[in-house]
Structure 1
Amino acid sequence: MSRTVTVNFPGTARQHTIPTGLHVDGEWIDLGDTFDVVDPATGEPFASVSDATNAHTRAALDAAHAAQAAWADVAPRVRGDLMHGIHQLLSERAEAFIDLMVLEAGKPRSEAAGEMALTLDFVKWLAEQAAHVHGSFARGSRGNFRIIATMQPVGPSLLVSPWNFPVLVPGRKAVAALAAGCTA
């Protein structure tokens, strides 16, 4: 298990314990190289986290590739149920995510709370859609042929995200990929 750091949210009694390593292939790995995460309001670091390299990115993609066939075989209903579980976990930890967005990104609390609410809405919607991934069967426009479309996972996916929306964008990308049967 990786190191963790306990972060005190300024002006409150709230504390959040966060991992400081990388999660690759189902395990937390702890790196020697770190960088400080700075509170933009004070200019003071509040945590030091592992600094990933291109090799770590490749290891994560290799792990996703190795898991792709098994994940693609998971029934859509089961994937949807798992996405509902992600929604539940994010809901339970929403305050911690909001506090950390305020602290790390300098977002006003109302914007961080709005981002978290929108993230939860996307995750719930994707969870509901996961079980309904169907193909289609249609008559061709000239009537003399039929079009059959099937939906198949194409993963694995390497997701790159900007950090102006640190929960919404990565959450939306990762859950969409997973719900569709792609590893990420």
Structure 2
Amino acid sequence: MTKTVIYKNAYDFHFGTPKTKASIRKVALDGGTIKLLKEWKEHQQKQIKTKYVLSFNGIPTNKHTLRHIIRRHAKIAKVKEIAVHGLRHSHASLLIHMKEDPLILKERLGHSDVQITLGTYGHLYPNRDFELASRLSNVMERDFSKKDLTSNQGNQHLSIDNH
């Protein structure tokens, strides 16, 4: 993403530079999303010739139109309506739930520092410590009832390899 739309109205919009250097980035898309966007572009070109992917009338779609679309589809799906920017937070929340690395989130969201990402989304990580403890338990599990331990009575137990 190298540009941002500064949109006043349908007749007064232009493209500007993103807010920060970190905002200028490439966002990887999966094959299914690319396929849908190509299909949409083909459909769209039959309706109106435009160079914008998200356009219904030849100009970039504004946030009010997107809000209307979200409202309409939330009603159809019988789910709570969220703000357009909420889609960004939902995406970040999903990636955290999928256990993606915070550094990947930082890059994808265009944050200049991982501390911004963690400061914004850190509250979504509370159970990660329990997950880590569980994984460590599986790695560290040891059956101390076996006879292959030394007779050392101190607090250090060493296993003896009987091979």
TM-score of the alignment, normalized to the shorter chain, above 0.5: no
Greater relative contact order (Cα < 8 A, sep 6+): 1
Q: Which has the larger radius of gyration?
A: 2
Q: TM-score of the superposition, structure 1-length normalised?
A: 0.27
Q: TM-score of the superposition, structure 2-length normalised?
A: 0.29
Name the structure where helix makes up a greater proportion of residues.
Answer: 2
